[in-house]
């Protein structure tokens, strides 16, 4: 492993550590603490520009929950959302608007 690979591994390790430490906060800020309690099962993948939330489509209130998440996300971040089926899940792609640095 060369020095660049070592730096990349260190960076990824730090990012993973940060995400683990902030996991509950991130879930609550994207999904909402009340909605988390309504979800039996979900997959949340958070990125800088896009966040994905997938819920099994056999969950009782899947569309109500995803509608609420979408509404909250757009109000909070002014972003956009795309809903689509994926295998046996219904997924949201939440797109955070570009911000000046």
Would you state the pLDDT for residue 99?
Answer: 52
The whole-angstrom separation of Cα 38 and Cα 55 is: 11
User: What is the reported pLDDT for 6?
Assistant: 65
Please list the pLDDT of the chain residue by residue as tens digits (101 residues): 556 666 667 777 887 787 777 777 777 777 777 777 778 888 888 877 888 999 998 988 888 889 988 998 888 888 889 999 999 999 999 998 765 44
Beta strands 89-95 and 50-56, pairing class? antiparallel
50-56, strands of its sheet edge to edge: 43-46, 50-56, 89-95, 80-86
Where in the chain are the domains?
3-95
Beta partners for residue 94, in sequence order: 51, 81
- CATH 3.40.109 given to domain 3-95: yes
pLDDT tens, residue by residue, 35-47: 777 788 888 888 7
Half-sphere exposure of 49 (CA within 13 A, CB side): 3
What is the Cα 47 distance to its own chain's centre?
7
């Amino acid at each position: 492993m060369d020095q660049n690979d070592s730096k990349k591994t260190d960076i990824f390790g730090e990012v993973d550590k940060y995400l683990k430490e902030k996991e509950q906060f991130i879930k609550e800020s994207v999904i909402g603490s009340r909605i988390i309690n309504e979800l039996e099962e979900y997959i949340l993948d958070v990125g800088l520009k896009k966040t994905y939330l997938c819920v099994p489509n056999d969950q009782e209130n899947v569309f109500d929950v995803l509608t609420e998440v979408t509404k909250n996300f757009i109000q909070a971040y002014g972003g956009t959302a795309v809903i689509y089926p994926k295998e046996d899940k219904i997924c949201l792609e939440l797109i955070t608007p570009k911000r000046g640095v």
